[in-house]
Structure 1
Amino acid sequence: MTILKRLQMLIISYDSLTDLTMDEIEIKNYKKIKEMLSVVLELMMHFQTYKSIDEINTLNKRIGSLKNKIIDNIFNDFETQLSRHLSDESQLIYGCEILDLLGQAYREKLSNWYINNVLKDITTIFKSSEEAGSLDNLKRRFIYFQRILNNFEKNQAKLFPSDWSMNLNLTKSFCELTNKDLKEVTSKETKLNGSGPVDVNLLINSLTDSLDFENYLNVLFKDSGYNFDSSISVVFEPYLNIWIKNQVFLIVIQTQRLC
């Protein structure tokens, strides 16, 4: 009798969940969907040993298909939110909680997708092969990201649970991307192959700007426990000997003049 009652509850809950996902509204009621999905998943756990029964196996497959539909809806609604504001964006945080309920992989997939979309302009405008990606424009790159971060805090932070630490992960990804780009740019602009002179002042100014930016991030995320030291400035360490040689050269020249 207990099994039959649970099966009846499962079918009723599944039907209710299906109705919620079929609602023709701009954004689904993810709060209710999460509540009903939790019930369905919990009830289905009691029937794992009954999958050899055709009806149970069919129901299990339908639940799996419904989960995939819910996941697709969440991603579609986030995509819509990035292009235009939804009428009830407060529901998206429950969409994130649904992904947490379904597994870490879905949470990571949405986080990575969101971060890549937000940093898309950075990768386009400040591409290492473009003028804007040169060391001369490094400070511009930092300022541009600060605007992105400010916009996130103002308009999009509320879409994600606080324990997702999206602002921190967004910043980490920016630093990793900048580190990668700067390795290409410094290799080109320092001209270590001997094809031309090195702009030592540009090199040092870029290092200084990077250190200042890292310090800004450390202050901004002081409560996170994460340290941004050397996340970007480390790129310039292999080239410090160029500055040292230049300083030695200047000292020698100055000494000769005094003599």
Structure 2
Amino acid sequence: MQTYFNIRYEFDKELVGTRIAQQVTKKEADYICVADGVILNVANRNSNYLKIVNGGMFSICDSSYVPLYIRWIYGKRYEQYCGSQIFMDIIRSKKYRMIFMGTSQATLKGLQNNLLKENIDVKSMTFLELPYRTVEDFDYAGIAKEIEADNADIIWIALGAPKQEIFMSLLKPHLKRGVMIAVGAVFKFYSGTDTKRAPQWMIKWHLEFAHRIFKEPKKQIKRCSMILLTLPKLFMKEMICKHRKERYVE
């Protein structure tokens, strides 16, 4: 793991898979954050949320820009590992029993139908709609009982950031085992009934944010503007951090 911009990232995709497999065999519960620009922004504005993001196993880098920033500052090359990728990698691996939690029943139904094309075992897995309420008001003990009864290894959660990360941190003490992974809009992307992910050419050229703004202008313009306001200060802090590390090595 490496810490950049105050987030504990794991960039090694093979190691991500190994750590998940190891955690599933333990009689303990934990979670993984899928850190995009929104999480990076909110975590560096809210120390309590930063503790939650760094309180799990690690975060994977959902932002295509963070690897660019790291390359500019440190000269190191890392790759993005977005929520859509880890989601489909685990689905296609056919290694785990999973439960899918969040969004609407229509989205969950469309998601299940599409995932059956990738993994027939999904047919017997649970797709659970979560009620719309504040993150503090969920019945975490009750939700944990449903997960335990299902015997799920992987618990996919789609509530949107920062709500889903707080949800995982509050659910964790009630669970005996399993790995929770919060994947935001991924359920919508693969449901075939809602927002689709940007085309590959836009993803390649780091323009996925433009696609999201076009699809959800009111929501995404606000998010992007907050990220832009935070970024210069965050960038400068990381530059200072780099120089301190270099001096320490000397």
Higher relative CO (Cα under 8 Å, sequence separation at least 6) belongs to: 2
Structure 1 or 2: more helix by fraction:
1
